[in-house]
Structure 1
């Protein structure tokens, strides 16, 4: 009897458990999001973007000392000076009169931009303005009554919430992928160390071709613009990054108004505050942005901030870590006076700072000398002087004319030329004199710095 009772109890338990699983399964299924209605409603406003253009191929032999000069010239004459480039990405309509938002890197160097809608209509687009620092570009097509998307308040985005992307990965039009927000406020430095975008990190499957496409919340609003992925294979590994909608709205407004974006500038170099540094500066926990250097003519120095100050609050908002500060400053209107709470010599104090205008991207050096060449020279360059406190002497390359001697030699904006031939370049006046006396049809050695690293190349004035 005891054995029969045990079996009966076991059967009752298993039957009850099965009933519980059957009853709860639909409830669990109902708790997962259904994206079908969102995709049907919002896909018509998503576009596929293709571009055509030509870029300099850099017709010179890479830095190798073992190639004789006569053979180097042989190869240079036969290397193509330009090459055709094509790119593909995504975008989305933001107004019924034809404004379209995408990534800057999708349309960079494009001579022709084509936009295709889900109903297979195609348009040629014009660039209204672009902003490399945020990787955004605003396009315009000649059309009316287009379906368009609305921005959400990306400041309300929470880690763990569902998001969905629509785009054209690898050219596969209107592909849909979903996931969750993995983190917010991610700082990802660019090659020029710009950190003005607090990215939204997700595990949504984003691949080449998704760039510029929208990232939706469950209400069908755009919370971000898909921009970057972290990958070792070229495909998605679950680390994708989107530009927040709140930042994009500000960029769009400025591009519509003037075709360019103005950002606030503080004129400081900062670093993270470690636990030991926090203790040594009198802080209970590691927080804020530590000023390690500043432009002597910049807004911070002129307003009384000092090297060694730790910025704890900016305009009433806490600076939790150093990466929080650049986006805050960048979104501040130049000329605004902003209160900052800093820790200085163990005491908190408030300093009012008038925010300046961030210099153009091509300048690379914030406080360059106003002495500059106003037009291209025989090398095809526009240059300007370096600040008086710069460690190296030379001239800063601001622009490089296409198909010029400098372009063929591979020089780029941001390079610092320190030597022409056997002569050192200490100033713009030195540079102009040397360029004026350079021989034609002869290779000339040029020493330059690129991101602080010295290198030599040769150019020839034809």
Structure 2
């Protein structure tokens, strides 16, 4: 009797919970349907819908995800001899060792164009692509872009048309969207994990210079780098790139490069063989809550223009210091990194609208994007003669060179690019230093540097910038 009453009690509790759960689902469903823009995003309302499978989607998409194997020949030296001298040598001298690594890639064109992460192939000498059906092909590196951490490769498959993923429109990606991650974690074989978009426009990840990542809780592990993040339409939403983890395994915080940037890099690789990123020609800082209030905004959004490069696209379009840029092409920005990323997804020559607040009034300013000024291949000069910079190779800083090196495009001066072994210049300068002035005269060009060194007569007052700090001193030679 006691047992029967307990069963009856638990059944009533169970039915109450099921009814409440069903009511909650119905309420969420009705709430979701109240937004006209979300009519295609529906919360499951029945067990039948919960039992739906991603298998058909995976079956169609997974053949477009490949394994990428790389080989790198590494020179190893006799450490005992280097430290203790010839008497303690192991007798093996310099040896070569092959270093292998593994990642994933995505076929984005049926003729064999594959995109992966730059860190997967960085420094490698040979590339091997293994398709989902285990066929192997040597791959040619078409373009490696360290700034976005993307690389484009090509395999020769003759007249065969390979399965390829089409790019999704990531401007419409929303937090909560279902996604699948496909790759080869830890080399165990092709693996599919599921999750949602946890966040968009992550700019503080610190993985690449053009950071604007999609965050997902789909399990991403070492080996997934370069693999696909797809939506429920089987389109490529992003390329899995990084995780936040203390252990090295997935903690549910993965990051993918949005397909809009992936498409830009692939198009540049295939059509031009190189990527030229457009720029706006301005510096900006994030809007704080106090700044937002002073501008009449109800929340912090946008960036404040702090500097405009002379005759740059922003300057010619009429942007000024103090302007508040809230969006580019209708997409909100919250820091300079996001603004730079969205501009970089376009091509030089494109006309983009910026929404700007100036003097409390909102306006739209059209800016025609251009490549940063400067030579495509900066002229480098190897200094020689009786002066303290002898043996140093230098180049004149320009926005274009700064962009290629990931430096501030507003920097001026002469950049030390490398120094010959044993050169006198090692006593004074290091690669990466910027020579700002000699004898209190600014040095902006290679000709001005050579002239200043020729005037010294054995004594120079030199000002450098090293790691963000200015160093000034007198040198006798």
TM-score band (shorter)? 0.7 to 0.9
> In structure 1, which of residues 391, 396, 399 is the aligned counterpart of residue 415 of structure 2?
396
Question: Does the alignment pair 1:153 with 2:153?
Answer: no
Separation (CA, whole Å) in 2 of partners of 1:118 and 1:391: 47
Question: Does the alignment pair 1:245 with 2:279?
Answer: no
Shift of 1:72: 9.8
Instruction: Say how many residue pairs are matched.
Output: 412
2:323 maps to what in 1?
A: 309
Q: Which runs of 5+ in 1 are unaligned?
A: 60-70, 360-366, 437-445, 456-462
With over 3 angstroms needed to count, the CA separation of the structure-2 counterparts of 1:301 and 1:234, relative to structure 1, is same
1:328 maps to what in 2?
A: 342
> In structure 1, which of residues 263, 280, 299 is the aligned counterpart of residue 277 of structure 2?
263
Question: Does the alignment pair 1:53 with 2:105?
Answer: no
Shift of 1:35: 3.2
2:446 maps to what in 1?
A: 428
With over 3 angstroms needed to count, the CA separation of the structure-2 counterparts of 1:74 and 1:274, relative to structure 1, is farther
Question: Does the alignment pair 1:373 with 2:373?
Answer: no
With over 3 angstroms needed to count, the CA separation of the structure-2 counterparts of 1:310 and 1:21, relative to structure 1, is closer
Shift of 1:243: 1.3
Deviations 1:258-304 (A, max 9, x none): 11223321111112111211222343432221112232342222332
Question: Does the alignment pair 1:283 with 2:297?
Answer: yes
Q: Which runs of 5+ in 2 are unaligned?
A: 23-44, 385-390, 400-407, 455-461, 472-477
- What does residue range 138-177 of structure 1 map to in structure 2 within 5 Å? 138-143=152-157, 144-177=160-193
With over 3 angstroms needed to count, the CA separation of the structure-2 counterparts of 1:256 and 1:369, relative to structure 1, is closer
Separation (CA, whole Å) in 1 of partners of 2:188 and 2:463: 46
Question: Does the alignment pair 1:416 with 2:428?
Answer: no
With over 3 angstroms needed to count, the CA separation of the structure-2 counterparts of 1:33 and 1:232, relative to structure 1, is farther
1:180 maps to what in 2?
A: 196
Instruction: Report if the CA contact (8 A) 1:414-1:450 is conserved.
Output: no
Shift of 1:44: 2.6
Instruction: Report if the CA contact (8 A) 2:415-2:435 is conserved.
Output: no
> In structure 2, which of residues 373, 392, 396 is the aligned counterpart of residue 384 of structure 1?
396
Instruction: Report if the CA contact (8 A) 1:89-1:211 is conserved.
Output: yes
Separation (CA, whole Å) in 2 of partners of 1:188 and 1:228: 13
SS in structure 2 opposite 1:44? helix
The answer to which of 96-105 and 424-433 deviates more is 424-433
Separation (CA, whole Å) in 2 of partners of 1:432 and 1:30: 75
Instruction: Report if the CA contact (8 A) 2:180-2:193 is conserved.
Output: yes
SS in structure 2 opposite 1:264? coil
Separation (CA, whole Å) in 2 of partners of 1:448 and 1:81: 40
With over 3 angstroms needed to count, the CA separation of the structure-2 counterparts of 1:16 and 1:332, relative to structure 1, is same
1:31 maps to what in 2?
A: 50
Shift of 1:108: 1.7
Instruction: Report if the CA contact (8 A) 1:369-1:385 is conserved.
Output: no
Separation (CA, whole Å) in 2 of partners of 1:8 and 1:308: 76
Relative contact order, higher structure (CA 8 A, sep 6+): 1
Separation (CA, whole Å) in 2 of partners of 1:373 and 1:239: 43
Separation (CA, whole Å) in 1 of partners of 2:441 and 2:77: 25
1:66 maps to what in 2?
A: none
Shift of 1:425: 9.9
Question: Does the alignment pair 1:355 with 2:386?
Answer: no
Separation (CA, whole Å) in 1 of partners of 2:131 and 2:345: 32
Shift of 1:208: 1.6
Separation (CA, whole Å) in 2 of partners of 1:160 and 1:447: 53
2:59 maps to what in 1?
A: 40
Shift of 1:337: 3.7
Shift of 1:211: 0.5
Deviations 1:356-400 (A, max 9, x none): 21x4xxxxxxx669996346667574522469x9999852145x5
What is the root-mean-square deviation of aligned Cα atoms in Å? 4.8
With over 3 angstroms needed to count, the CA separation of the structure-2 counterparts of 1:404 and 1:228, relative to structure 1, is farther
Q: Under a length normalisation based on structure 1, what TM-score does the superposition of the two structures give?
A: 0.72
